[in-house]
């Protein structure tokens, strides 16, 4: 490192410290920089930890600055290292690894740590906070071994933790001291709507409960409340709040109250030592949200680079909840008092709520639930304390200024150039426009990589996309168009149309004729093309097994230890003693580790060796349950009218009929059905791709449900009186889905993309089209058979699989 530059040391490798360094680099600051981080990771987006927990993102997905970024900018990064003391007199820091690092300028960005309630039992096994990647990993490990979890704290962090644990399959109860969730950000109306929505997604609540003890021996087994009641739990997440991490600062003689005390330029009480982020106390306030941290970082970066800057005078905080299927926003003041003018609208049918608070005629706060499309606009208005007028009212409340009922779209054309679009990263409209025009950017992802906008919470993404549309004009549609993968610019509809028009019959032919950039394709397009060709030519296309994913080729799901799980078919969740005995005999003979009852009412043989798969299937002599495939997985049933005193229809027989009829058929993604004998929903029809509910007059059909990561309640689609009508409607829906969905697109996404009315028009209202759809699905069904029966007849194919010669996909 150069000896002519001043030495800048940053203690803390989180979003605040590294965000400040990014600003220094943009401003052309010239320092020798070293960063010390306690975690073994490069800088990552802590806001996205909830997505890692629920499984929609990986750790790599949330990394903001990878290892190469530090190297590219000449920054020396020390990971897994903790600063133990600052020697202000000698101007150096000391670490737990024995390092002594001199500095000319020092920035403390040590963030915060979870507050752990000082109650008996807090040190037991199974009690964790939720603050970093290590906490995430501990929670995932717990979900694989334990069932009942309690999350103490009904704030933002606690709710995110709870939803993540529910997604991992745990029975989760949120314990909250107050009667309202997120009471520091939401009023009673929004809080009640939030709780109701989260209850629909499977989270339980114990409101108004004060935890006084965690019970159990070495490991926690429950919570004891002040009122004497108790909650059983074998895993507890503490999410009651955070506290600034000030230990090093306090131990080094720095002035500390609740946080490290700084002035308006982030200077601490020690010379040339600054602080930013959640560890800081500014004008008596500590911030736990990301936008203020970046605002502080920008002021400090300008100060260190000798650039004129306004002092940091505090932040208007805004909150956005990051849980799948729940949209909540709050900014500024949210509890109305006698001094406020309140503008509000609540729609229980659409589950939306809007409230704007005025003091005088100035906008000082807002709460949104369900529809947060105006969040970015409201955050700006609250920050500016703008005067309310008819145009703003119409934009926010969804009416024009004359009350005509037409929402006036906010135009980016009228935004000032210096208006901040991304509050988290301090990115202005002008910076985004310049990046688009000067560097030829055409996508939001490119803007994110170049400017940082949308990189943190993502709340500004709609505005960034509007700016992109505004700048590109007519070129936006062409620029935004994406192919099904990086091998082609063609989308699904274009590819299917070209296959039909040009009579293309093989994957290789499609790639060659349609100009694929990679001769062999990739793991995204090859399975998709294999499906599209099979769907278009069901009676002539020869399936290419090498273009299927490994689980489909093996007719079993590969596990992390290299063994496989085998799931035989149990029609409608019904089996026989003979089949159960056969499963037990095979499991014992081939040393199956675990036999598990699945959520689809079947048995899963876990731990089958690869070389044993052919014999296992042969000796079971049962159809495959397709637990691995993009096909009909299960038809879940209740006992129905055969046995249940509430049952009005024979759900077991109908479930078996549907499963036997439509098994083996390929779909764009996995497909799950359920049949209930009455509206009590014991088979959980409301969260299935096709859900069927019996009633006194016949059946009601629901479509588009999903009980997974992106939870969605199914929409009521049609009511029928006869079993034949039911089968015909279901078959036509399936075939329309096969013909119009993108590959790997679940019905929940397909229904929202096409629209329920469009699907109903083609299936329910158009009898001729419904008949044609049924004819096409019957033709496809006539061509398929159980994959293992087909494979067992073909020694060559079997040899490719079991001699480890199959292509990797």
* Across 324-328, 665-669, 698-702, least confident range: 324-328
Mean of the pLDDT values across residues 542-560?
78
State residue 46's pLDDT score: 86
Q: Give CA 64 to chain center in angstroms.
A: 17
**Cα(426)–Cα(297) distance, integer angstroms:** 10
State residue 795's pLDDT score: 52
Q: What angle do CA 12, 291, 13 make, to 5 degrees?
A: 10
Q: Give CA 471 to chain center in angstroms.
A: 30
Specify whether the CB–CB gap between 624 and 554 falls below 8 A. no
Is pLDDT at 61 greater than 60 in this prediction? Answer: yes
Q: What is the pLDDT of residues 379-398, one digit of tens each?
A: 888 888 999 998 888 888 87
808 Rama class: left (phi>0) / alpha (psi -120 to 50) / beta = beta
**Cα(635)–Cα(640) distance, integer angstroms:** 14
* Across 200-209, 219-228, 393-402, 452-461, least confident range: 393-402
State residue 772's pLDDT score: 94
Contacts of 228 (CB under 8 A, 6+ apart): none
For residue 762, give the DSSP letter.
I
* Across 72-76, 449-453, 471-475, 740-744, least confident range: 471-475
**What is the sign, positive or negative, of the torsion defined by CA atoms of 17, 18, 23, 29?**
positive
State residue 402's pLDDT score: 41
| Residue 794 CA: distances (Å) to CA of 306, 781, 789, 791, 809 | 75, 21, 9, 5, 21
State residue 410's pLDDT score: 46
| Residue 385 CA: distances (Å) to CA of 315, 362, 396, 638 | 13, 5, 15, 57
Q: Residue 377 has which token pair?
A: 């606009």
Specify whether the CB–CB gap between 809 and 546 falls below 8 A. yes
State residue 789's pLDDT score: 53
**Percentage of residues of the chain with pLDDT beyond 90:** 51
Q: What is the pLDDT of residues 237-250, one digit of tens each?
A: 999 989 999 999 99
Mean of the pLDDT values across residues 572-584?
90
Q: Determine whether 446 is exposed, middle or buried from the number of CB atoms within 10 Å of its CB (0-12, 13-18, 19+).
A: middle
Mean of the pLDDT values across residues 254-262?
96
State residue 775's pLDDT score: 94
pLDDT band at 801 (very low <50, low <70, confident <90, very high): very low
Kind of pairing, strands 671-676 and 632-637?
parallel
Q: What is the pLDDT of residues 145-161, one digit of tens each?
A: 999 999 999 998 899 89
Specify whether the CB–CB gap between 142 and 43 falls below 8 A. no
Is pLDDT at 301 greater than 90 in this prediction? Answer: yes
610 half-sphere exposure, CB direction, 13 A CA radius: 19
Q: What angle do CA 597, 603, 607 make, to 5 degrees?
A: 100
* Across 70-74, 372-376, 490-494, 628-632, least confident range: 372-376
State residue 472's pLDDT score: 83
Kind of pairing, strands 632-637 and 594-597?
unpaired
Is pLDDT at 437 greater than 80 in this prediction? Answer: yes
Is pLDDT at 357 greater than 90 in this prediction? Answer: yes
State residue 793's pLDDT score: 53
Q: What value does the mean pLDDT of the chain take? A: 87
Q: Residue 436 has which token pair?
A: 């688009």
Is pLDDT at 103 greater than 70 in this prediction? Answer: yes
* Across 323-327, 447-451, 531-535, 611-615, least confident range: 323-327
Helix axis angle, 290-304 to 15-26, nearest 10° = 40
**Cα(488)–Cα(787) distance, integer angstroms:** 31
Specify whether the CB–CB gap between 190 and 366 falls below 8 A. no
Mean of the pLDDT values across residues 484-493?
86
Best-predicted range by mean pLDDT among 190-204, 251-265, 523-537?
A: 251-265
* Across 205-209, 419-423, 437-441, 666-670, least confident range: 419-423
State residue 441's pLDDT score: 83
Q: Which of 486, 512, 489 is nearest to 499 (CA)?
A: 512
Is pLDDT at 679 greater than 90 in this prediction? Answer: no
**Cα(634)–Cα(653) distance, integer angstroms:** 14
Is pLDDT at 37 greater than 50 in this prediction? Answer: yes
State residue 520's pLDDT score: 84
Q: For the chain, give the number of residues.
A: 809
Domains of the chain: 6-112+244-304 (3.50.50.60), 116-240 (3.50.50.60), 492-547 (no CATH), 629-785 (3.30.413.10)
Residue that wins the pLDDT comparison between 598 and 299: 299
Mean of the pLDDT values across residues 741-750?
92
Residue with tokens 């199974």: 126
**Percentage of residues of the chain with pLDDT beyond 70:** 92
What's the Rg (C-alpha) of the chain? 30
């Amino acid at each position: 490192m150069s000896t002519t530059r001043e030495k800048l040391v940053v203690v803390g490798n989180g979003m605040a410290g590294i965000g400040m360094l990014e600003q220094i680099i943009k401003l052309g600051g010239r320092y020798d920089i070293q960063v010390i981080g306690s975690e073994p990771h490069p800088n990552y987006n802590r806001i996205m930890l909830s997505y890692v927990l629920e499984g929609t993102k990986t750790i790599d997905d949330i990394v903001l600055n990878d290892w190469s970024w530090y190297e590219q900018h000449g920054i020396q990064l020390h990971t897994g290292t903790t600063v133990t003391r600052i020697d202000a007199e000698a101007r150096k820091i000391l670490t737990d690894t024995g390092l002594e690092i001199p500095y000319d300028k020092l920035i403390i960005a040590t963030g915060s740590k979870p507050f752990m309630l000082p109650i008996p039992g807090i040190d037991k096994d199974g009690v964790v906070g939720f603050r970093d990647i290590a906490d995430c990993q501990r929670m995932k490990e717990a979900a694989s071994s334990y069932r009942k979890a309690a999350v103490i704290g009904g704030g933002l962090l606690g709710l995110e933790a709870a939803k993540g644990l529910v997604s991992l399959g745990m029975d989760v109860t949120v314990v909250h001291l107050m009667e309202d969730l997120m009471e520091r950000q939401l009023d009673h109306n929004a809080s009640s709507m939030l709780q109701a929505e989260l209850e629909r997604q499977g989270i339980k609540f114990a409101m108004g409960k004060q935890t006084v003890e965690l019970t159990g021996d070495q490991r926690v087994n429950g919570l004891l409340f002040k009122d004497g009641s108790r909650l059983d739990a074998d895993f507890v997440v503490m999410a009651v709040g955070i506290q600034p991490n000030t230990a090093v600062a306090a131990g080094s003689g720095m002035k500390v109250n609740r946080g490290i005390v700084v002035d308006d330029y982030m200077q601490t009480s020690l010379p040339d030592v600054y602080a930013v982020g959640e560890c800081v106390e500014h004008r008596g306030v500590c911030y736990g949200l990301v936008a203020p941290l970046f605002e502080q970082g920008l002021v400090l970066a300008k100060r260190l680079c000798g650039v004129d800057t306004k002092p940091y005078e505090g932040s208007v905080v805004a909150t956005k909840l990051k849980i799948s299927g729940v949209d909540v926003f709050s900014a500024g003041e949210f509890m109305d008092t006698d001094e406020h003018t309140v503008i509000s609208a609540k729609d229980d049918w659409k589950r939306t709520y809007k409230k704007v608070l005025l003091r005088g005629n100035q906008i000082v706060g807002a709460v949104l639930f369900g529809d947060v499309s105006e969040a970015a606009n409201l955050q700006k208005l609250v920050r500016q304390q703008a005067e309310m007028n008819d145009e703003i009212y119409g934009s926010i409340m969804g009416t024009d200024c004359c009350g005509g009922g037409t929402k006036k779209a906010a135009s980016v054309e009228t935004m000032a150039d210096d208006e901040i679009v991304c509050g988290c990263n301090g990115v202005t409209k002008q910076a985004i426009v310049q990046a688009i025009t000067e560097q030829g950017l055409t996508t939001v992802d490119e803007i994110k990589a170049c400017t940082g906008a949308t990189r943190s919470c993502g709340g500004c993404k709609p505005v960034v996309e509007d700016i992109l549309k505004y700048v590109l004009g007519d070129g936006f549609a062409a620029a935004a168009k994406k192919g099904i993968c990086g091998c082609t610019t063609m989308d699904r509809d274009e590819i299917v149309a070209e296959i039909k028009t040009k009579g293309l019959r093989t994957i290789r032919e499609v790639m060659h004729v349609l100009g694929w950039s990679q001769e062999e394709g990739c793991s995204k397009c090859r399975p998709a093309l294999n499906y599209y060709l099979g769907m278009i030519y069901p009676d002539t296309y020869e399936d290419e097994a090498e273009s299927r994913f490994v689980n489909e080729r093996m007719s079993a799901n590969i596990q992390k230890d290299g063994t496989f799980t085998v799931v035989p078919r149990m029609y409608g969740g019904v089996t026989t003693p003979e089949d159960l005995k056969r499963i037990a005999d095979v499991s014992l003979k081939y040393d199956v580790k675990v036999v598990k009852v699945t959520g689809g009412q079947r048995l899963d043989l876990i731990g089958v060796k690869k070389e044993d798969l052919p014999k296992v299937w042969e000796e079971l002599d049962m159809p495959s349950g397709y637990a691995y495939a993009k096909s009909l997985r299960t038809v879940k049933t209740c006992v129905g009218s055969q046995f249940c005193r509430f049952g009005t229809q024979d759900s077991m027989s109908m479930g078996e009929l549907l499963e036997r009829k439509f098994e083996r058929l390929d779909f764009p993604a996995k497909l799950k059905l359920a049949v209930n004998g009455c509206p009590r929903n014991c088979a959980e029809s409301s969260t299935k791709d096709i859900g069927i509910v019996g009633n006194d007059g016949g059946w009601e059909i629901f479509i588009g449900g999903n009980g997974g990561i992106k939870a969605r309640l199914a929409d009521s689609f049609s009511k029928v009186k006869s079993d034949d009508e039911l089968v015909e409607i279901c078959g036509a829906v399936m075939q329309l889905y096969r013909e119009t969905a993108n590959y790997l697109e679940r019905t929940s996404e397909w229904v929202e993309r096409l629209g329920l009315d469009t699907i109903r028009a083609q299936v329910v209202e158009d009898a001729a089209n419904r008949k044609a759809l049924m004819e096409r699905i019957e033709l496809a069904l006539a061509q398929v058979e159980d994959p293992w029966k087909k494979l067992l007849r073909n020694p060559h194919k079997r040899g490719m699989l079991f001699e480890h010669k199959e292509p990797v996909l």
